[in-house]
Amino acid sequence: MNSRLAKYKDFKAADFFADEDFVQTTFQNGDPQNDFWSELGDHFPDLIAEMERATMWILLIKGQELAPSGLSSHQRWAGIMAQIPVYEKKQRQTRVIRKILRWTASAAALLLFAMLTYEISQYGPKATNTAFGQQREVALPDASIIKLNSNSSLSYVRGWKTDKPREVWFEGEGMFEVKHTAIKNRLRENDFFVVHVGDLSLTVLGTKFNVKDRRGRIEVALFEGSLRVQGKDGMDRLLAPGEMFIYDENEKANQIVHSDVNRALSWTRGELSIEHSDLANIISVLEDNYGYQVIVQDSALLHKRFTGVIPVKGIDDILFVIKHTMNVNIEVKNKQIVIKPN
């Protein structure tokens, strides 16, 4: 007996229903394979009823009527044709919105990056310098303001913590307005503000003072509050408003004098106060703040005294005053000033 026939010997309707060959034949009625199934029926007459039943199942399921719909194909098609332009428009808008969103996202990311970079750059050491003839105002993170005169430099480290005093390192001349941060009855380390200049440390809370560090001589003039000066060899002095502390770096000598502290501030108003000073004093300003080399041909001139206030917009103003009050001849060549007797 054919082994293929034998395979179906004990088949029931459900088995034929599950048999791919049988199902295929039923789908394609009239296939030559049909002969196989009639041959099977000849061999096993019992199977005929089972096959007929399986065929019936398939035909019954296949014979389901299509569900009737309210809309005709024609109406459906018209609906689709009407909807396509609407959808395309919406798609375009979505694409534009998506593009805008993408752009906004990258802009936001860029902004965030810039802000982060800026924030990070604000930490760590900072330094500010002024060139000859230049002045600048520096605002510190704690809202203290420092006005730098020409040829001066200020540096500090951002990251002032609450357990450390605020600290700056300073050279040249500058006017400090330190923000008072202490709250009543509560003094913390960072309420102190320390200026390191030369060998000295100036400690304040919130005050206004001028520091001048030129030619080995440091002058600290206090306008408000109090200021503590500490130096080498345990030097520790307290300054009251209206007092000026003078320190000679070579001699390690210091003294406190009463002085017109406003004079010390004249530079911030664009003036040069030369009361009770001689030509040597003015020359030091020319050299320290403007970077000139000054040659005085007759040393006797150095001790000639002046009194008054010179408005200084620039070097020319100073030279004009010297020339006319001392009756001298002045030559300016590059960065060199030569003063000769007339």
Partner 1 sequence: MNSDQQIWQMFQVGHEPSFKILFERYNRLLFNYGFKFTQDEDIIEDSIQELFVKLWCNKDNLSSDVAVKNYLYKAFRRTLVKKIEQSLRRADMTSSSVDYLPFTIELPHDLSMIRQERALEVRDRLDQALQQMTARQREIIHLRFFEELPYPEIAEIMGLSTKDTYKLYYRALDSLKKHFGRFGLLLLLHLLNQLRYN
**Site for partner 1, rule CB under 8 A:** 10, 12-15, 17-18, 23, 27, 52-53, 56-67, 69-71, 73, 76-77, 79-80, 83-84, 87-88, 91
User: 92 or 276, CB closer to partner 1?
Assistant: 92
92 or 252: whose CB is closer to partner 1? 92
CB of 100 to partner 1, least distance (A): 21
- Assess contact for 200 and 218: CB atoms under 8 A: yes
Retrieve residue 18's tokens: 């599950």
Q: How far is the CB of 11 from partner 1 (least distance, A)?
A: 8
Closer CB to partner 1, residue 17 or residue 247? 17
Round to whole Å and give the CA distance between 89 and 30.
52
Instruction: Tell me the C-alpha distance between 176 and 192, whole Å.
Output: 14
Which H, E and C letters describe 123-178, residue by residue? CEEEEEECCCCCCEEEECCCCCEEEECCCCEEEEEECCCCCCCEEEEEEEEEEEEC
We find the least distance from the C-beta atom of residue 10 to partner 1, in angstroms, to be 5
Residue 31 C-beta: closest distance to partner 1, Å: 14
Residue 114 Cβ vs partner 1, minimum distance, rounded to whole Å: 37
Minimum CB distance to partner 1 smaller for 91 or for 293? 91
Single out the residue of 180, 201, 183 nearest to residue 192, CA to CA: 180
Q: Look-up: residue for tokens 């002032």?
A: 160
Rounded-to-integer distance, Cα 21 and Cα 41, Å: 15
Q: Which residue has the tokens 């500010």?
A: 128
Residue 151, judged by CB atoms within 10 A of its CB (0-12, 13-18, 19+), counts as buried
**Least spacing, CB of residue 120 vs partner 1, in Å:** 44
- Which CB sits closer to partner 1, 91 or 122? 91
Token pair belonging to 114: 């810039």
Cα–Cα distance between 87 and 94 in angstroms, integer? 10
Nearer to partner 1, 78 or 111 (CB): 78
Using the minimum distance from each CB to partner 1, give the nearer residue, 83 or 104.
83
CB of residue 111 to partner 1, shortest distance in Å: 34
For partner 1, the closer of residues 73 and 342 by Cβ is 73
Least separation in angstroms between residue 119's CB and partner 1 is 44
Any idea what DSSP says for residue 276? T
For residue 195, give the nearest of 222, 215, 216 by alpha carbon: 222
Report how far residue 326's alpha carbon sits from residue 306's, in angstroms, rounded to the nearest whole number.
9
